[in-house]
Structure 1
């Protein structure tokens, strides 16, 4: 039997230690990479949620402006757009149905003051996450005096 010299034995020990360190370095690199991927997934989720909220706000503003346009086109019947009587007015009922179909749990309400011509349009909706939102616009719609 040949005995290994003291010089060759430490080199074998060092080589196996180096291989173990390389494996640890690879595992740490994989851990850092996975944390980065998880961070990107979280960022994408936040961006999607923010985009959905922004679209709902834009839709609410558009719907409120649309009803104002309908009111300006129907100046002779402005009083029928007020409160619960709004549902009896065909144009307003169509608008309320459009709010309900375009926004999650969307509801539209109109208040018209015949004396001053002030109109308040309130659009409310609830996102699937449970967050409630409301868009309110005020303006004056009145027949021009001649």
Structure 2
């Protein structure tokens, strides 16, 4: 190597060592900024997870309500003679004071069509309100049956208690805790 090249080589090594000795690694401020960014990201992830769980619970309750509404519709179809006369409605589970089944329920002889209406209404009330069970299908569940004699259309509505969810602009979503089925026999 020439002397000039050797001198430049040594000068380069010294400057690298000098520059490297001033840098000690990350500063405390850089670490704090990194932790802050990480914390904001984790908070966003937790919020997303919470909102997803709340939407999942709302979908579950809506499914339970649809099962209960169609259960009553099927009961009416099975006992169609009184149902066509409008004997199932108007009815509200909120107005039921005592859920007592007719004595014919559970007997081998079965129930008359009129007793079957009462039995269907009381069994449905037990399901909606969760009486006689460890857990209600719907929290604060209430069911109503309305009958329009002019059109022959039944309307079965199920409502329940659920925390309101916010929409895009911060407004509450209305009617998210109600499920309605309209049908005729």
- After TM superposition, is the score higher than 0.5? yes
Structure 1 regions of 5+ residues with no counterpart? 1-10, 142-146
TM-score (norm 2): 0.60
Q: Higher relative contact order at CA 8 Å, sep ≥6: structure 1 or structure 2? A: 2
1:99 partnered with 2:128: yes
- 1:48-59 aligned at under 5 Å gives the runs 48-59=53-64
Normalised to the residue count of structure 1, the TM-score between the two structures is 0.74
1:65 aligns with 2:65: no
- How far apart, CA to CA, are the structure 2 residues paired with 1:110 and 1:63? 12
**1:96–1:85 CA distance, 2 compared to 1 (3 A):** closer
Larger strand proportion of the pair: 1
Give the corresponding residue for 2:181.
137
State the SS of the aligned residue for 1:72. helix
- Paired residues of 2:154 and 2:184 also in contact (CA < 8 A): yes
Query: 1:138: Cα distance to partner?
Result: 0.8
CA RMSD of aligned residues (A): 2.6
Cα deviation, residue 73, structure 1: 0.6
Q: Which residue of 2 aligns with 1:23?
A: 28
By percentage of residues, which structure has more helix? Answer: 1
Unpaired segments of 5 or more residues in structure 2?
1-17, 97-116, 130-135, 166-174
Q: Displacement of 1:72 after TM fit? A: 0.5
